[in-house]
Chain A
Amino acid sequence: MKKFLVLIMILAFLFNFTGCTQLILSSTEIDKIFNTRIVGIDKLENGKIRMTITTKDTKPSENGSGVSEKSEILVSEGETVFEAVRTLFESSSKRPLYGHTEFVIIGEATAKDGILPFLDFVTRDNEFRYNAKIYIVKGDSAFNLIDKLSDEETYLADKLSALEHNSGKLSISSQEALAEAMYIFDKPNISTYLPYIEIITDLPSVDTRVKSNGNTISLNGYGIFKADKLQYFLSSQRSRGINWIRNKIQSGFIIVKGPDGKNISMEIISAKTSIKPSIKKGVLKCSVKVNFTTNVTETMSRKKIFYDAEVIKLQQQQEEQIKKEIEDIISYAQEKNLDIFGILSNFIMAYPPMKNELRQNWGKLFPEVQFSVKVDSKINRTYFLRESTGIR
């Protein structure tokens, strides 16, 4: 019994070292928290920082059988992000909790100014998760995006989650977690790319369920950074090029032509890219080998296509397309001198003794790297049909 009491005293004493300064005060009732899912950060023209946070306000519906949801937005301004965060308490009856923040959204203007100063608080604070995703808003501010996409029908975070989930179907965008982005920002000579959100206002026939205040959003590609400043927005085709080299292709489509010039759709089933850097006689070379498999999902051609010679032609067509995509983004990156593929890391891993030399001169070396792209593909299956109905 005496030992038991001693143990209790030790545990009570240890409590002093836990860092819990406010014992019972730190307990918060769950309905008194503002459960932030999206944090938007913008730099205003007057130099202040605007912080926009949003949550889903859930209430039991009138008949008690379901839950009514609507977006709730809080906005505050301050000289620093932290000031803005603390100022939020003035306008909110609830305590903002950042533990559930899934998306950190940065406005285009802010991103062009350099985003690292704004992300310092987000990465330093203990509540934020490192697996929160970062997005740039193309052509608008984070506040506007959140404001335009929030009404009683739509909740931006749900919409973004759904888009993220589906992004692998096209492979023109991807999710970039805070931790990964910060890791690349920390590396000199390598450029970061972050997916951007585009607000689409003129889609007359869009389904009302995904259209909020007449707007909807799409993830169309990447914005490329030099250091921490946003430089360019890439088209969806070039963005897929990055995903090919970065080995991030999950699925996607390729359209090739049949014998009669009609379209045939190919679905990418699997893809694997390997990068082999080499230095020969002072020349940096990099071979990019891509292997992918496709299924024929649709043919508009009215000719027979499933015989050896034609299948080989189709394979060649899709290989050429992908090769073109990859070569296009490589030449673009070399032209702008932005190593968005992280090729430097590949060279350093292959030639560790040359680490310092490569790092110091990468700005000069990267545009000179000789890339060779080799694409191999295989057409695998045709689903339920072989030849289309009516073709004998």
Chain B
Amino acid sequence: MTNYKEVFEETFDYTNLKLSLENIQAIIGSNSDFISKSIFIGNNRNIEASIIYMDGLVNLQLISDFVVKPLMQAEEFKACDSETDVINIIEQGTVYYSNNKKRTAINDTLNDILTGSVAVLLNKQQLAFTFETKGFEKRAISEPKVENVIKGAKDSFVETIRVNTATCRLKIKSPNLVIEETKVGRQTQTTIAICYMKNIVNEKLLKEVKARLNNLEVESLITSGFLEEFIVDNKFSTFPQIQYTERPDKFCKNLIDGRIGLIIDGMPVSYIIPCTILQFLQAPEDYSLNYIVSSAIRYMRFTSMFITLLLPAFFVSIINFHQEMIPTELTFSIIAAKEGVPFPMFVEVILMLAAFELLVEAGLRLPQTIGQTVSIVGALVVGQSAVQAKLLSPVTVIVIAITAITGFVMPNQDFSNALRIWRFLFVILSCIVGIYGLTSGLILLLYSWCKMDSFGVPYLSPFVGGEEEQLKDTLFRFPLFTMKYRPSSLRVKNKRIMK
């Protein structure tokens, strides 16, 4: 299925070594969390075994009660004369532990030890039994931090992959839900779970996703960039091409729609493939509210996208080039507000945009306890004082404030960030050639959107490609009972959702 073995072997090339305590100690024995100790099985001094584990990854109670105690005290083991007897008895299940494996290769043994198992090594036989005794500290499932909803589930993904896959299983209790695992990262050996519905998913898409994951030539997969930037199609685009979510319900909904989900060990977010621009404008709440209400909100969100993208540029172009487009009375107000401000309008706009970006960035970096300082400095210094000192006109402040607020309406931060970059480009084009510059910028943006695709699905889908059915969930959200088909751009096996 995967070629991770090649990667694995390249990294840990110990296949020629025999499985022995000495060799294991030589490889990982210098670590402070490496624990190995000898026991005599059934108190028989002739049968010596080593208990090996990494401290912190295992539950010591489990090891003592269910592994060491039976090995030392069980009557069956006391009767053993040789190590071969011990092996037989363990294989028969006397050490009653549900998840144990018999290992003869040093690679497998090391891998088990490093993922939280305890190994019972019979040195002379060059054989080990590993028992999964994972017991490291994990975070409890908490409320989503970013994608909050009022009506809806309050759970979110955590850093532990097994907890996350279990959460999905609880939501989709279907035998068709497939969770396959693969390992990525030469050093980190991070587990990625590929989740899909086998009765729905497009096989070609699945094959492509697996191929891309297998071809990932990365050292580590500790931050999401290593995955996103390596598997997306358009590597030079500012727009996100893979969607993340911290909500299991949203994740599962997408699996059922025919998309493929990736859960990465150590990350409290999951990824959804493929993704289109529409998904960045849909929020989980949309489907729990009344469809008329959520249609209004959705429409507002689309409008907000254009406002946050275009408002500063449009403002600069009409103020500097097309003053006749402003309503007369408003012109007088703007002139009065601009009176005495030394900077040209576009400089004001760019200064304010830069100040706003700095405030956002500072707000992210500051510890929560002193985080309020930013808002006070932002509101008083940038807002009030700059206007009173005649460094900025109040109109600019209002325009940038509207831009900022509408930017925060975007449900996806990556998408919002991309809009922020393009916004700057538009302002610069507008201050050079007015509306013509703005239009040119828009054409460039539209062109880049049209060019993009995500795993073969057009980025602008369903606005391109004649997917009338999917248009029901775009600018307005139609009632759920009218949405009878899955997105046709996904080419799924089972297109119909309901009769």
Do A and B belong to a common assembly? yes
B328/A60 in contact, CB under 8 A = no
Q: How far is the CB of B312 from chain A (nearest CB, A)?
A: 15
In the complex, the answer to whether A1 meets B236 with C-beta atoms within 8 Å is yes
* 8 residue pairs A–B, Cβ–Cβ below 8 Å: A3-B451, A4-B448, A31-B341, A33-B323, A35-B332, A58-B332, A97-B324, A100-B331
Which one, A4, A30, A69, A129, contacts B319 given CB within 8 A? A30
B332 A56 Cβ-Cβ under 8 A: yes
Which of A18-26, A337-345, A346-354 touches B? A18-26
Residues of A within 8 A of B10 (CB): none
- The CA-CA distance from A116 to B62 in the complex, in Å, is 103
Contact of B338 with A29 in the complex, beta carbons under 8 Å: yes
Chain A residues closer than 8 Å to B388, beta-carbon distance? 64
A31 touches B443 (CB 8 A): no
Residue B481 at the A interface, CB < 8 A? no
Assess the A97–B323 pair: CB atoms within 8 A: yes
Of the residues B325, B331, B340, B345, contact of A29 by C-beta under 8 Å: B345
Q: A60-B339, A99-B324 are in contact. Are A30 and B447 (CB under 8 A)?
A: no
Considering the complex, give the chain B residue whose CB is closest to the CB of A3: B451
Chain B residues with Cβ below 8 Å from A7 are 443-444, 447
Assess whether B335 is in contact with A24, with CB atoms less than 8 Å apart. Answer: no
Taken together as a complex, chains A and B put the C-alpha atoms of A59 and B335 apart, in Å, by 8
**B431 interface residue (CB < 8 Å to A):** yes
The 4 residue pairs across chains A and B that have the minimum distance between CB atoms: A99-B324, A58-B336, A27-B320, A31-B338
In the assembled complex, A121 has its CB within 8 A of some CB on chain B: no
A8 proximal to B (CB < 8 A): yes
Q: Chain B residues near A56 (CB, 8 Å)?
A: 332
Complex Cα distance, B435 from A15, in Å, reads: 12
Query: Among the listed B320, B433, B440, which residue makes an inter-chain contact with A30, where contact means beta carbons less than 8 Å apart?
Result: B320
Q: Are A27 and B431 in contact (CB under 8 A)?
A: yes
CB within 8 Å of B: which A141-179 residues: none
Chain B residues bordering chain A, tally (CB within 8 A): 33
Interface residues contributed by chain A, number (CB under 8 Å): 33
B321 at the interface (CB under 8 A from A): yes
> With A and B bound together, what is the CA distance between A8 and B236 in angstroms?
16
Confirm or deny: B278 has a beta carbon within 8 angstroms of a beta carbon on chain A.
Answer: no
Interface string of B314-356 (1 = CB under 8 A from A): 0000011101110010011111111111001100000000000
* Chain A residues closer than 8 Å to B319, beta-carbon distance: 30
For the complex, is B434 an interface residue (Cβ under 8 Å from A)? yes
- A102 contacts the other chain (CB 8 A): yes
* Apart from the given pairs A31-B335, A59-B336, A99-B325, 13 other A-B contacts in the complex at a CB distance below 8 Å: A3-B451, A7-B443, A15-B436, A18-B436, A27-B431, A28-B323, A29-B320, A29-B345, A30-B334, A35-B335, A58-B335, A60-B337, A99-B324
A150 to chain B, nearest CB (A): 15
| Interface assignment of A44: CB less than 8 Å from any CB of chain B | no
A64: chain B residues within 8 A (beta carbon): 388
Closest B residue to A97 using CB positions: B323
Closest to B439 in A: A11
In the assembled complex, the Cα of A20 lies from the Cα of B443 at a distance in Å of 19
- Compute how far the CA of A100 lies from the CA of B329 in the bound complex, rounded to whole angstroms: 10
Q: Closest Cβ of chain A: how far from B334's Cβ, in Å? A: 6
Cβ of B105 within 8 Å of any chain A Cβ, yes or no, is no
CB-CB < 8 A to A24: which residues of B? 432
The residue in chain A whose Cβ has the minimal distance to the Cβ of B395 is A30
Measured between beta carbons, the chain B residues less than 8 angstroms from A127 are 324
Interface string of A49-87 (1 = CB under 8 A from B): 000000010111000100101000000000000000000
List residues 449-484 of chain B with CB under 8 A from any CB of chain A.
451
Cβ of A60 and Cβ of B331 under 8 Å apart?
no
Question: In the complex, which residues of chain B have a beta carbon less than 8 angstroms from the beta carbon of A102?
Answer: 328
Q: Which residues of A contact B345 (CB under 8 A)?
A: 29-30
CA distance A52 to B276 in the complex (A): 58
Q: Shortest distance in angstroms between A159's beta carbon and chain B's nearest beta carbon?
A: 14
A37 located at the interface, meaning its Cβ lies under 8 Å from any Cβ of chain B in the complex: yes
| Most A C-beta atoms less than 10 A away, residue of B324, B337, B444 | B324
Nearest chain A residue, comparing its CB with the CB of B394:
A60
Asked whether B337 lies within 8 Å of A11 as measured between CB atoms, the reply is no
CA distance A20 to B319 in the complex (A): 17
In the complex, how many angstroms separate the beta carbon of B233 from the nearest chain A beta carbon?
13
Bound state CA distance, A373 and B297, in angstroms?
57
Q: Which residues of B contact A28 (CB under 8 A)?
A: 320-321, 323
Quick check: A30 and B444 within 8 Å, CB to CB? no
Q: Contacts A7-B443, A7-B444, A20-B436; is A35 near B323 (CB within 8 Å)? A: yes
Closest residue of chain A to B332, judged by CB? A58
Q: Which residues of A contact B321 (CB under 8 A)?
A: 26-28
Give the Cβ gap from A387 to chain B, nearest Cβ, in Å.
46
Question: 1/0 per residue B424-445: CB within 8 Å of A?
Answer: 0000000111101000100110
- CA separation between A19 and B431, bound complex, in Å? 17
A29 contacts across to B, CB distance below 8 A: 320, 338, 344-345
Contacts of B328 in A (CB 8 A): 35, 37, 100, 102
Report the nearest B residue to A56, measured CB to CB.
Answer: B332
Closest A residue to B343 by CB, please name it: A29
A8–B445 alpha-carbon span in the complex (Å):
11
Question: Which residue of A has the minimal Cβ distance to B346?
Answer: A27
Q: Please name all residues of chain B whose beta carbon is closer than 8 Å to the beta carbon of A67 when the two chains form the complex.
A: 333, 336
